Amino acid sequence: ADANFVGPAAPGVAGITLGLGSGLSSAYVSASGGQGGAGLHSSSYYEGLKRALEEHRSGGSGASNRGGDSASPKAGTESGGEAKKKKKKKSRFKLPLQRDPSPPARPAVVTSSSYLKKLMEHGGEEAEEMRMAIIKATIYAARKGKGAGDIFVGSDGKGYKNVQRAFSSFGRIKPCPRCRSNKQGAYHCRVRRKHPGEDYDGGDSASILRPFFTAPTKTLIYKYTGGTSSST
């Protein structure tokens, strides 16, 4: 036999089985027969197979490396996008709302309007105290909102109905000349609109009401006692 003969039928080559898998561990070369196995070490064909295996191994690792390189920019972009999304917004600290104290409980017993009328017609110091209590309760109701003046507490600690009506009847507050000519009452002029001008008859009702618009609301109401005067 020719020692330089190379080919599938060459001595030491016949019976060789070559398997190439996708991974490095799955590539193998096997030989059958004792003589063939011994001849593999001197065969140039084996050298070719060895180079093929090496190229296969290097090619697989290179492909994986290339795949990793191509994926890395995308991963970086995604991570950058997530970082922008997760960027914290500046927190805005909000102060709690400053609320007026809750109105007192409504009186269990309401005194009749006729009693209030008699008290105011009688005059004197008691009537003047009640007048100021009505004015304060009117401003309180205007500042607190709807329903706050349905029932109010007078200077005597008793409950009375409809502070707006009591204000119009016993407050002795007068509208400005313009509201007078437009047939608007003192409540609309001085409390709702807060007109600062002098009264239609030259008086100064605005100066009486002005301090109560800025005073703490708790100073404008009386506690209900059922008859004993008690201002908060």
Joined tokens for residue 84? 């922008």
79 pLDDT band, cuts 50/70/90, is low
- pLDDT, one tens digit per residue, over 150-166 is 889 999 999 999 999 99
Do residues 224 and 103 touch, judged by C-beta distance below 8 A? Answer: no
- The C-alpha atoms of residue 179 and residue 190 are separated, in whole angstroms, by 10
Confidence check: pLDDT of 219 > 70: yes
- The C-alpha atoms of residue 190 and residue 197 are separated, in whole angstroms, by 9
The residue-averaged pLDDT of 83-111 equals: 55
- The C-alpha atoms of residue 186 and residue 149 are separated, in whole angstroms, by 16
- pLDDT, one tens digit per residue, over 189-213 is 999 999 999 999 999 999 999 999 9
**Eight-state DSSP code of residue 231:** B
Residue 53's pLDDT is 77
The letter for the amino acid at 70 is S
* Average confidence score pLDDT of the chain: 73
* Global pTM value: 0.53
Q: Among the listed ranges 54-63, 126-135, 218-227, which one has the minimum average pLDDT value?
A: 54-63
- The C-alpha atoms of residue 67 and residue 82 are separated, in whole angstroms, by 23
Confidence check: pLDDT of 103 > 90: no
